[in-house]
Structure 1
Amino acid sequence: MKRFRGWALGLLSLTLGLLLTTVVASASYLHTATSFTQQSVNEGDVLVVLVPEDAGGVRVSGWSDATTDHVKRAMAAADFEGKAQQRVEILAPADLMFARLVLLGVGNPADLPRYVAEEMGAALAAHIQGSKAESIVIDSRLVTNPGVNADVVSAIAHGVELRSYRFDRYKSEPAERPGQRYQWVVSNASAAERAYNQLNALAQGVFIARELTNLPGSDGYPAAFAEYARQQLEPLGVVVTILDREQIRELGMGSLLSVSEGSQHKSHLLVAHYKNSDDERPIALVGKGNTFDTGGYNLKTNAASILRMQTDKAGGAAVVGAVKALAGQQAPVNVVGVVPLSLNMISGEATLPGDVVVAGDGTTIEVANTDAEGRLILADGIWYAREHLDARVIADIATLTGAKVGALGTQYSAIFSDHDDILATLREAGELTRERVWQLPLDGYEDVVRSRIADMKNTGSPGAQAGAIFLRHFAGDTPWVHIDMAGSALIDSASGIHPEGATGYGVRMLTEWVKIYSRQH
């Protein structure tokens, strides 16, 4: 067995002790380091100066006239005005103990959107990683308002970290991870560090979601996913409960149970509860955790499609990541994450097309297509959040339908709800984090999941609406929203705040939405 860096292999006995499989241990996500100071730092490999658009020239404390003149001429040659995302680089700047000087425009800092600052940090990280620089000093003192300074600095640092993540646990000789030391010269070190710590907790949530999504099907199966999440969440004060196949069966959740019956890795239900408020009833986040999707007997026959099916657990990963982020931020919320976990395979025990299963609420479901398994497991997850956790609102998130990608592409997630307040707060969270959402209609589609032989079936047309109509049934009278994030779980090449691979999409939006919704309700 190969030795993989940064993680260990353990053994888990399943199926009466006859089957031994590997359990994935936690990985180290970053090698970069971040610190804050109010003192000038006069040497390093790269000096970055944040320049507002109205700075009226660039002169930093301690610079000589020769340095200032060199910078002035370079700015003029590059038409650099300090507009947001403008960047100019000066090699061997006069009289400075740095090999490179980078001027980074921040526009009007008070109006700089958080997501733009994060994109700037990601672009800076990618630029730096293309050099041999190890020590990077970022001087932000031209952004003079202390509160604005802290917000801008923390958002740029957040972007640096998000871009610097690497998934390399399966590389026998992995390339060196980005290992730069970032020193931030700020106007108020304690304020900047507080703002940074909040976004660093958010980044840690994104990283666990990326890690879980990236895991191959044979390593990220239901029990392993649940155990990995437990190890990450319990040290933060999150109460974690993991239900196995027999407990799921005893609760009558036959819809969830049915999807994994063809696999040696049976269905599980992960429940992660973080309570740090006086709210008696929790906000519930329910994420699809289908750890690999062959399609079952409605087998996926496209090689490129099935190769990406470890990402079918990205909704569940986003829920775990959001709970981790909120706990790491010590946010004043009562939130519970529910992740129904399955592995959709083919065997003599697998569910057949046309079979009828019974969900936890007693609804009978005709399995018209075994490849529409996500809504089968989410149905029991949503019902569990309503019936056993007394959720005051439920948001489910899933890589659910190709129809959503056909309708909206990957720039927006589709959202479905009958509740205007939920829709408005989700839009706000989406705009803040640039994980944007667009409402699709429910009205008029009530009959698309009608079955001839059961209460309902798990398919219908149009596909995105059919999935949403199906799931709405299991929320009952509880306020509910469905988020179809299909197409957003994985990218083939680095872009913006994302390195190649799993994006961790949904963590940032859900984290902000829980806080916004909690404040308003």
Structure 2
Amino acid sequence: MRVRAETGLSIKKKTSILCAFSIEDTNVAIGLGKFNKKIDQTISQSLQEIKGKKGKIAIIHSHKEISSERILIAGLGKKNKLTSDVIRDVTGNITKKIHELGIKEFTIITPEKISIKNDQVVSAIVEGANLSLYDFDLYKKEKSNKKEPDLTLLTSDKNAQKIIKNSITISDAVKFTRDVANLPPNECPPAKLGEIAKQIANQNKMKCTVFSKNEIKSKRLGGVTAVGQGSKNEPRFIILEYRNGKKEQKPILLVGKAVTFDTGGISLKPGEKMDEMKFDKCGGCTVLGVMKAISELKLPINVIAIVPSVENMPSGDAFRPGDIVKLFNGKTAEILNTDAEGRLILADGLAYGIKHFQPSSVMDFATLTGACIVALGTNVAGIVSNNAKLASKVKSSSAKTSEEVWELPINDDYMDMVKSKVADIRNLGMGRAAGTITAAAFLANAVGNVPWVHFDIAGTAWIQPSTKSKSYNSHGATGFGVRLVVDYLMNQK
């Protein structure tokens, strides 16, 4: 989508449709100004009809009496519930309406002097517009031929064009993440994910290393080897290196689980909704999307991304319940359930990254546990951390981007729940209790004292029946976490 900033009076703007926002019960279209008696009266009537309620839209035809052909007014809802995400969501609805009408360009008056900072308002508008028209139609014979409309933002913010550019880059990275996550398992085995990572690296001057099955085994990545051995689609261990900070600056490590399809292995999942297990690669896709964004933004930092990728299949070669696997960090893991496979490959990715790159901090992302959906639903991701300062910064970026997280505790009691009687640790806790936390406790064994945040995105990575409807999220993968993590990384020095 092409978006540009422009200054000037709304009454003089020549555009196909001029869009303004209204807050509930204020009877004012923010920044719209006065036109003539007839138009102003029609605007007033429209405001009274929609009452500024969220989701309500009124369109007024000017009949060539003013510069704009039409005026659109969209309600934002109650003032005390106004957030940047409300603006993002309402903008998405505006954009969908414009697209539906076949309008080629439109203008939005940026609401200023409200309770939200101007830069966040501009970002929300751009993200809402750019993400709302996303549609995964790669495999459809008939595709939409409608071109995305061009958007002009009327604003007095001198930094608006820079904010727009960054917001387009970030939201395009979200769309890229959705594209990869939505790929079906027959089109995206681990090798394909490795190819996609190499393409990102080549386009954005990053170093990319992809270990093959034999290299994974020779480097003693026992978790990845075990989970991947049951499939004819061999595992890959992907490393992306972005180095644009000071040479002596320790990197930030991002690790993403990428199970390109998860049957559960020998501990076979029920058949119902197993098709959704193509989304078990979403953690890795989020990491790839973040790397694409930060390299295009040219952030002055160092970041290492590791994406262990496998297909978890049952076969004569598959790992079994009862097996004991030696992980990269030297600890042994008793396998109680082969459907608890993500923590095995993540543990290898975390330990390998920490040993070889000595990061200042670590974040990992995974569609890890159904228990997280039971605890938090499908609109909030769970986080577990060993560092209060790092977790606080993550929560700050979460609040800013409206990608919601909730921190769960971890202590020695939870660590004890993953101790094994026949190995160092076990890949399940004790029964159904604290399933999300015990999965994180398993990972904590690979992290040690390095500042770390674990994101369980099992509920938020794709649209599920209980997912809250938002205009900028379509069916399939959401790209959750990209905007949050990029915001966090943009604020690193």
Give the TM-score, by structure 2 length.
0.89
Aligned amino acid, residue 487 of structure 1? G
- Aligned twin of 1:502: 477
- Aligned twin of 2:351: 383
- Aligned twin of 1:412: 380
- Matches of 1:102 and 1:210, distance apart in 2: 30
Deviation at 1:148, TM superposition (A): 5.4
- Matches of 2:77 and 2:459, distance apart in 1: 33
Q: Secondary structure at the match of 2:106?
A: strand
Equivalent pair of 1:165/1:207 in contact (CA under 8 Å): yes
Per-residue Cα deviation, 1:327-356 (whole angstroms, up to 9, x for no partner): 222222221111111111122221122112
Deviation at 1:96, TM superposition (A): 3.3
Equivalent pair of 1:119/1:159 in contact (CA under 8 Å): yes
Equivalent pair of 1:288/1:314 in contact (CA under 8 Å): yes
Superposed CA RMSD in Å reads: 2.8
1:475 equivalent to 2:475? Answer no
Q: Secondary structure at the match of 1:471?
A: helix
Deviation at 1:429, TM superposition (A): 1.4
Aligned amino acid, residue 486 of structure 1? A
Q: Secondary structure at the match of 2:159?
A: helix
Aligned amino acid, residue 447 of structure 2? A
- Aligned twin of 1:452: 421
Aligned amino acid, residue 472 of structure 1? A
Equivalent pair of 1:248/1:268 in contact (CA under 8 Å): yes
- Matches of 1:482 and 1:287, distance apart in 2: 10
Q: Give the length in aligned residue pairs.
A: 480
1:409–1:50 CA distance, 2 compared to 1 (3 A): closer
Match of 1:103 among 68, 73, 83: 73
Counterpart mapping for 1:130-169 below 5 A = 130-140=100-110, 143=112, 149=118, 151-169=120-138
- Matches of 1:297 and 1:348, distance apart in 2: 10
Per-residue Cα deviation, 1:246-285 (whole angstroms, up to 9, x for no partner): 2211211111111111112211111112222225211111
- Aligned twin of 1:288: 257
Per-residue Cα deviation, 1:426-470 (whole angstroms, up to 9, x for no partner): 111111112221122222122222223222121113321221111
Counterpart mapping for 1:211-222 below 5 A = 211-222=179-190
- Matches of 2:405 and 2:145, distance apart in 1: 36
Equivalent pair of 2:259/2:310 in contact (CA under 8 Å): yes
Equivalent pair of 1:144/1:187 in contact (CA under 8 Å): no
Q: Secondary structure at the match of 1:446?
A: helix
**Gap regions ≥5 residues in structure 2:** none
Aligned amino acid, residue 501 of structure 1? G
Counterpart mapping for 1:20-419 below 5 A = 32-38=1-7, 42-50=13-21, 63-80=35-52, 85=54, 87-94=56-63, 95-96=65-66, 98=68, 100-104=70-74, 113-140=83-110, 143=112, 149=118, 151-176=120-145, 179-187=148-156, 191-278=159-246, 280-304=249-273, 306-419=274-387
Q: Secondary structure at the match of 1:388?
A: helix
Equivalent pair of 2:366/2:457 in contact (CA under 8 Å): yes
- Matches of 2:270 and 2:410, distance apart in 1: 31
Q: Percent identity?
A: 31
Equivalent pair of 1:51/1:143 in contact (CA under 8 Å): no
Deviation at 1:149, TM superposition (A): 5.0
- Matches of 2:29 and 2:336, distance apart in 1: 67
1:460–1:78 CA distance, 2 compared to 1 (3 A): closer
**Gap regions ≥5 residues in structure 1:** 1-31
Deviation at 1:59, TM superposition (A): 7.7
Deviation at 1:35, TM superposition (A): 2.9
Equivalent pair of 1:58/1:68 in contact (CA under 8 Å): no
Q: Secondary structure at the match of 1:325?
A: helix
Equivalent pair of 2:337/2:428 in contact (CA under 8 Å): yes
1:487 equivalent to 2:462? Answer no
- Matches of 1:344 and 1:316, distance apart in 2: 15
Aligned amino acid, residue 211 of structure 2? L
Q: Secondary structure at the match of 1:45?
A: coil
Per-residue Cα deviation, 1:301-348 (whole angstroms, up to 9, x for no partner): 2321x1100000001111111121222222222211111111111222
- Matches of 1:344 and 1:50, distance apart in 2: 49
Per-residue Cα deviation, 1:47-103 (whole angstroms, up to 9, x for no partner): 2134689897778579334323332333244445xx8x5754133235136553112
**Which has the larger displacement, 419-428 or 229-238?**
229-238
Deviation at 1:105, TM superposition (A): 5.5
**Which has the larger displacement, 375-384 or 427-436?**
427-436
Per-residue Cα deviation, 1:390-444 (whole angstroms, up to 9, x for no partner): 1121111111111111111123211112211122111111111122211222221
Equivalent pair of 2:325/2:332 in contact (CA under 8 Å): yes
